Amino acid sequence: MTSHTPDRIQLGRRRLAFALPLLACGLVVPSVQARADVHQTAQILMGTRVDLTLQGNESAALVEAAKAAFTEMNRLADMMSRYRVANALNAINLMAGLQPVPVPPELLRVLLMARQAGQASGGAFDATVGSLRGWDFSPEHPSIPSKQQIAAQLRLVDQKAGLVINEHAGTAYLTQRGMLLDLGGVAKLPILQAGLRQLQSRGVVNAMINGGGDVLAMGRLNGRPWRVGLRDPRQPSQLLGAVSLTQGFVAASGDYERFLMQGGKRLHHILDPKTGYPSTGPHGVTLISEQLELINGLGAALMVAGGDAGRSRVANTPGLDALIVDADSSLWLSPGMAQRLKHA
């Protein structure tokens, strides 16, 4: 593999501010932490920090609920990571072009979401971008593939024709040798949702999960809605404002999250399935909905499809609010987002 040493690398994980009156991701407001009925904990999961904030009357029960949530999220993350050798996803990749592979129901659900995201976006979302193996945005081994590498591997990027899912048999199959799935764009929210369901099953009614900028919330904190600060993709250290949430999902995608700098140009981790290179559409997209199916995979798809396609998609999707910072740095808010967004 031919790779180039970038001028600069930065791993910029998704970060949103949250809580009351407002918390920056990874920071703790002492007045919240000091309360006996609030439990906060965090783990590194899926390559990012996942924070849980729970409120309830029984502190011991909150601790146990948080442990159960992390156990379940870790189980699913191990199942769906392309970097785990002995899991079902890796088995699909290894058996590409050879035979279908039985998959667990949780993975089957995410694969179906990936297929739906691809169909709805006209191919702007494609989980087989994992076939583009030359890109590495990690600080440990940063690499940029050659034009020849991209051209050779781009023929393997074709989720529509290449991913065969048999729901009845519970199997998945990649039709060409060398094809690889990467579920990074669709696995995280379902995994976090599974953690939230663990909390609900143990009687927790007030909780927020912040997984590297993908936020799930239910209930309230100290009797008031959770507040989620939205980063400005043009100035990621700044907030555009905050939204209040008692139920639902907030998902942010941006070119500031993980990227390489080469020759003064930012090359980020959201790849265009049609070109094999980082997308050149919006700088950032933030989505809010109470329905996971409406937003899962959509952020990456809109980063690829562009601002016009994004505005049209949002306008024709009831129950979806969006903020888009376009390639020209102009800011667009859907009517629902404009109502939600307040000064932080």
188-242 pLDDT tens trace? 999 999 999 999 999 999 999 999 889 999 999 999 999 999 999 999 999 999 9
Q: Domain span at residue 247?
A: 1-344
What pLDDT is stored for residue 34 in this prediction? 55
Q: Which residues of 150-168 are buried (b: 16+ CB within 10 A; e: fewer)?
A: bebbbebbbbeebbebeee
User: Quick one: tokens of 301?
Assistant: 């798809």
C-beta of residue 227 within 8 angstroms of C-beta of residue 209 = no
Identify the CATH number of the domain in which residue 141 sits: 3.10.520.10
Per residue in 110-120, pLDDT (tens digit) is: 999 999 999 99
What pLDDT is stored for residue 212 in this prediction? 84
What pLDDT is stored for residue 26 in this prediction? 24
Compute φ and ψ for 179, nearest 5 degrees: -65, 140
Alpha carbons 223 and 197: distance in angstroms, whole number:
21
First-last CA distance in the chain: 46
Share of the chain residues as helix, strand and coil, in percent rounded to the nearest 5: 30, 30, 40
Alpha carbons 284 and 233: distance in angstroms, whole number:
5
User: Quick one: tokens of 56?
Assistant: 């309830």
Q: pLDDT means per 10 residues in the chain (344 residues)?
A: 35 37 32 74 94 96 98 98 93 98 98 98 97 88 92 97 98 98 96 98 98 94 96 93 97 88 84 96 97 97 97 97 97 98 89
Look at the chain and report how many structural domains it folds into: 1
Q: Residue 94 in 3-state DSSP?
A: helix
